[in-house]
């Protein structure tokens, strides 16, 4: 470089300046927009960890909370926060209206509630109705309302956060009444959705996060939220249309239905 004739150096400089100018005048339309992801139940637990990680990775995150005013950690991420109770049709409709004509690339139906009932006699059957409302009808309601926005998105990806407790084949211990049934119903919903939407370029999966240290998973769980999220994001980012209709765990392995 030191021995280069002066004209060559000037020529290279001109090319560099021209390249920088071209890069700076590149029309905005050619720069791909960051994908938009909607995460339900994003104020704590896995939903919050999803929001933190995906916003750090450059996604446009819309995190929902039943009480946005109390969702301090979620708001501190600088993401967009919307009110959503998945059991309330009016609340779901307001979310869809707030999103309006904007595309949504990925929907993560994460909000859920558990059940500690081990024996049927300890279980209040009315609780099953409540659990079904949140874990099964909630994702159905939210997905239906956001479908127009998802159709406009590039990724067309719907991730229903399920549980291996929803596997009929794996259920040898029983218990968790209401919860197991709700996740089995969510799995069947995922399968139907995948079949209906596959011709339209959608990928719909049921994804189990593993046993995770959250309010639901408890302190003895195997994974931290970040470990579970890291693994699930690897799975999500590797998905293609052929995976649609799958029931996967956080490691990306198929779980028997
Ligand atoms: P948490 O209990 O920590 O968080 C649950 C989230 O769901 C909260 O944000 C809660 O909001 C929200 N939520 C509850 N009810 C509603 C509702 N009616 N409308 C909207 N949001 C609601 O649970 P996790 O983070 O551990 O669980 C997330 C998902 O992962 C669930 O679907 C769960 O079934 C699944 N899962 C978790 C496992 C684990 O080991 N943790 C294992 C297998 C599956 P609020 O704060 O207002 O209550």
Q: What's residue 30's pLDDT? A: 52
State the DSSP code for 250.
T
Question: Atom 32, ligand 1: which residue's CA is nearest?
Answer: 112
The pLDDT confidence band at residue 12, using thresholds 50, 70 and 90, is very low
The Cα 104–Cα 155 span in angstroms is 8
Active site residue 179: yes
Task: Let me know if 127 is exposed, middle or buried by CB neighbors in 10 A (0-12, 13-18, 19+).
Answer: middle
Coil, strand or helix at 60: strand
Q: Ligand 1 site: residues with CB under 6 angstroms?
A: 40-41, 43-47, 66, 84-87, 110-113, 134, 161, 163, 208-209, 211-212, 214-217, 221
Q: What is the mean pLDDT of residues 18-22?
A: 45
Q: Render pLDDT for 230-248 as a digit per residue (tens, 0 to 9).
A: 999 999 999 988 999 999 9
Q: Provide CATH code, domain 34-248.
A: 3.40.50.720
State the DSSP code for 240.
-
Q: Render pLDDT for 73-104 as a digit per residue (tens, 0 to 9).
A: 999 999 999 999 999 999 999 999 999 999 99
Q: Render pLDDT for 105-127 as a digit per residue (tens, 0 to 9).
A: 999 999 999 998 999 999 999 99
Q: What's residue 33's pLDDT? A: 82
Q: What's residue 62's pLDDT? A: 98
């Amino acid at each position: 470089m030191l021995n280069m004739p002066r004209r060559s150096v000037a020529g290279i400089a001109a090319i560099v300046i021209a390249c920088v100018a071209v890069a700076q005048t590149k029309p905005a339309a050619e720069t791909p927009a960051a994908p938009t992801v909607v995460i339900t139940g994003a104020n704590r637990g896995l939903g919050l960890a999803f929001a933190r990680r995906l916003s750090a990775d450059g996604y446009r995150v819309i995190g929902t909370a039943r009480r946005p005013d109390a969702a301090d950690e979620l708001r501190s991420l600088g993401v967009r926060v919307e009110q959503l109770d998945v059991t309330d049709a009016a609340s779901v409709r307001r979310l869809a209206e707030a999103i309006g004509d904007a595309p949504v690339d990925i929907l993560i139906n994460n909000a859920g509630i558990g059940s500690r009932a081990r024996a049927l006699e300890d279980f209040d059957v009315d609780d099953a109705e409540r659990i079904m409302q949140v874990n099964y009808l909630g994702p159905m309601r939210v997905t239906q309302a956001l479908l127009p926005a998802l159709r406009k998105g590039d990724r067309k990806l719907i991730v229903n956060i399920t549980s291996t407790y929803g596997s009929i084949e794996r259920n040898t211990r029983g218990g968790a009444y209401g919860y197991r049934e709700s996740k089995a119903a969510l799995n069947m919903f995922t399968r139907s959705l995948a079949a209906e939407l596959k011709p339209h370029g959608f990928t719909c999966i049921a994804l189990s996060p593993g046993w995770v240290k959250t309010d639901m998973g408890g302190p003895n769980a195997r994974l931290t939220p970040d470990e579970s999220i890291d693994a699930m994001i690897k799975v999500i980012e590797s998905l293609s249309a052929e995976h649609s209709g799958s029931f996967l765990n956080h490691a990306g392995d198929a779980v028997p239905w």
